[in-house]
Structure 1
Amino acid sequence: MQRTILLHLLSVLFIIRSGVLARHESGNEGFLPDNQGSYNDNGLLVLNPTNTLQDENEAALTQYGEYVDNSIWKILYDIANIHKKKRRQALREALEVLSGTSLSISPLQESLGKIRGQQGELVSKLKHQEEWKFWAAAKVQKVGESTEGVRTAEAVSITEEFNNRYVLRLRNCVGQFLWAQIRLNLDLKKSIDGLQIPTRQVIEATDRCPSIKPKKCRKAVRRANDGLQNAPQELHNLLVESNQLEDIQRQSNQCLERTLQEYSEERAEIERQLEDIIKQYRQSETPSGK
């Protein structure tokens, strides 16, 4: 399953024409091809390849956290009902390891939730590209009708150059975020998968404790605990990476806001240029019309 997801993401990353996220020919990352299929009702489809894995990761992390927490409650119950010192000691050691892991999950979940919340703002800003196309088409049509088609090509050239320039700027705003998002999701998938077996081994070792000799119980639990000692640090590293992605996403949104503002300001000038084209044409036609 993990290999399938990895191959899918890699195919997304390096498709140039038919994909939704590609490497530009110059080697820069984060450029998106001019593809009408890049849009849907929920915004740019460019976010969807990682969204699927992000959804799976968040669900898996929630399920994993619940599994650990349920096991903690069971161990607490067992400790209260076990009187052999070595068994109780073993269960307390397992409890400490599992509790450390559990405490590291919530901050990561919170950070991932913030990323998801900000993503809606990012998508809404990227969708302005669609409105730009309608604006350009309307302006070109007006120039064409007002100049009997004579100056249509000029209007097309002006609006296309203007829109394409700002589309590229929008896409550059989100490039770093998209690559960082993919890296985090792959790292998160790998970590969650990697924690499953050692966590299960700790829990299975504690489950067997009441039915085996106390010394054997303690030995089995300690052996299993070794495999989960690094879990809190591993989850903390993911939290750091997730927090960094939050910052990158925030910067992307700020970049998009600036770009949209500058587009709006310059568009007023472009509209004046198009009106001048119409005015020039009418003035040129006036003498011959007398």
Structure 2
Amino acid sequence: MQRSIWLLYLSVLFTSDGGVLANVPTSEGILPTDPAYFNDNGVLVLNPTNNLQNENEAAITQYKEYLDNSAKEILIALPNTHKKKREQGLLEALAFLTGLRQSISPLGESLGKIKGQQAELVSKLKHQEEWKFWAAAKVQQVGESTEGVRTAEAVSITEEFNNRYLLRLRNCVGDFLWAQIRFNLDLKRSLDGLQLPTRQVIEATERCPSIKAKKCRKGIRRAIDGVRDAPQDLHSLWIESTQLEDNQRQSNQCLVKTLEEYSEERLEVERQLKDIIEDYRESMPAGK
């Protein structure tokens, strides 16, 4: 599992096409894609675990509906339940399923917030495209103004400048990407693990009308024991998701700061390029 996570992380963070994070295959499959996150060149800007996160959101929604429907069935059955032990069993199942519902709901809300903030990351990372166009225009200007003599120097200056800030952008989102991948894989594993024991609790309630009251309550309690730690596990995952939200906010703040500093330093680089042109003109013989 660790090897799978690490390969996915490396492929997202360090594989690029023209300075923009790209969609590339790994040994574990192909990274998820979403047309909404593509630029004009068809390059994926940022979408490391989009499909997996969407699947987790859908799984949470489906799981909540499953719990709600089961709770309704128990509420319908309770008025017609006359044996005390059978009633106790159904009430225990109802309380447990309601607790599961309350534990998983905040997770879905947190995933929604993370998804919303991701659009901000995408918009900031797209500035890399403008950087390339700016560099190309400046190199062309120097080349035309110096008859190609100082073109290589202009390329070196603009490349070093853009690559340095590109690395800073990647560093801003690196920790978040790693945490997002790890969290979504952990969440998927937990959601998958909940399916069978939850179904066993619900099936135990469904058998109640056709079996003895004592056996009904015993069966429900046995089924609940198989998933009793689930609410606490879901709460721990929710804590992890809120930490991921904070990590994402920090990434956004880091990107804002980096873009501001890039704009400030670019003015100096542009002055540098102008000096190259002026220096070349001054070095030419008079009258040429």
The TM-score with structure 2 as length reference comes to 0.89
Query: Corresponding residue for 1:28?
Result: none
Structure 2: gaps (5+ residues): 23-34
Query: Corresponding residue for 2:9?
Result: 13
Taking the aligned partners of 1:286 and 1:271, their CA distance within structure 2 comes to 25
Which residue, 35, 42, 48 being the options, matches 2:17? Answer: 35
For residues 271-286 of structure 1, the aligned pairs below 5 Å read 271-286=270-285
Query: Post-superposition shift, 1:34?
Result: 3.8
Query: Post-superposition shift, 1:42?
Result: 1.4
Structure 1: gaps (5+ residues): 22-31
Query: Post-superposition shift, 1:150?
Result: 0.4
Query: Post-superposition shift, 1:230?
Result: 1.0
- The superposition leaves residues 6-39 of structure 1 with CA deviations (integer Å, 9 ceiling, x where unpaired) of 986554234xxxx333xxxxxxxxxx23433735
Query: Corresponding residue for 1:262?
Result: 261
Letter in 1 for 2:243: Q
Alpha carbons of structure 1 residues 41 and 105: separation in structure 2 relative to 1, 3 Å = closer
- The superposition leaves residues 46-105 of structure 1 with CA deviations (integer Å, 9 ceiling, x where unpaired) of 643411111111111111111011101111111122111111110000011101000011
- The superposition leaves residues 117-164 of structure 1 with CA deviations (integer Å, 9 ceiling, x where unpaired) of 100001111111111001000000000001100000000000000000
Taking the aligned partners of 2:130 and 2:161, their CA distance within structure 1 comes to 14
- The superposition leaves residues 180-223 of structure 1 with CA deviations (integer Å, 9 ceiling, x where unpaired) of 00110011001000100110000000000001111111110110
Query: Corresponding residue for 1:209?
Result: 208
Secondary structure at 2:47's aligned position in 1?
helix
For residues 74-89 of structure 1, the aligned pairs below 5 Å read 74-89=73-88
Alpha carbons of structure 1 residues 7 and 72: separation in structure 2 relative to 1, 3 Å = farther
Backbone CA RMSD of aligned residues: 1.8
Identity of aligned residues (%): 69
Runs of 4+ in 1 over 6 A off after TM superposition: none
Query: Post-superposition shift, 1:228?
Result: 2.1
Taking the aligned partners of 1:7 and 1:284, their CA distance within structure 2 comes to 58
Secondary structure at 1:153's aligned position in 2?
helix
Query: Post-superposition shift, 1:231?
Result: 1.2
Checking the alignment, whether the CA contact within 8 Å between 2:45 and 2:122 is kept in structure 1 is no
Checking the alignment, whether the CA contact within 8 Å between 1:20 and 1:33 is kept in structure 2 is yes
Checking the alignment, whether the CA contact within 8 Å between 2:93 and 2:201 is kept in structure 1 is yes
Query: Corresponding residue for 1:27?
Result: none
Taking the aligned partners of 1:60 and 1:246, their CA distance within structure 2 comes to 20
Alpha carbons of structure 1 residues 80 and 7: separation in structure 2 relative to 1, 3 Å = farther
Checking the alignment, whether the CA contact within 8 Å between 2:45 and 2:125 is kept in structure 1 is no
Taking the aligned partners of 2:94 and 2:3, their CA distance within structure 1 comes to 38
For residues 112-261 of structure 1, the aligned pairs below 5 Å read 112-261=111-260
Alpha carbons of structure 1 residues 219 and 46: separation in structure 2 relative to 1, 3 Å = farther
Alpha carbons of structure 1 residues 229 and 46: separation in structure 2 relative to 1, 3 Å = farther
* Worse overlay, 266-275 or 227-236: 227-236
Checking the alignment, whether the CA contact within 8 Å between 1:97 and 1:228 is kept in structure 2 is no
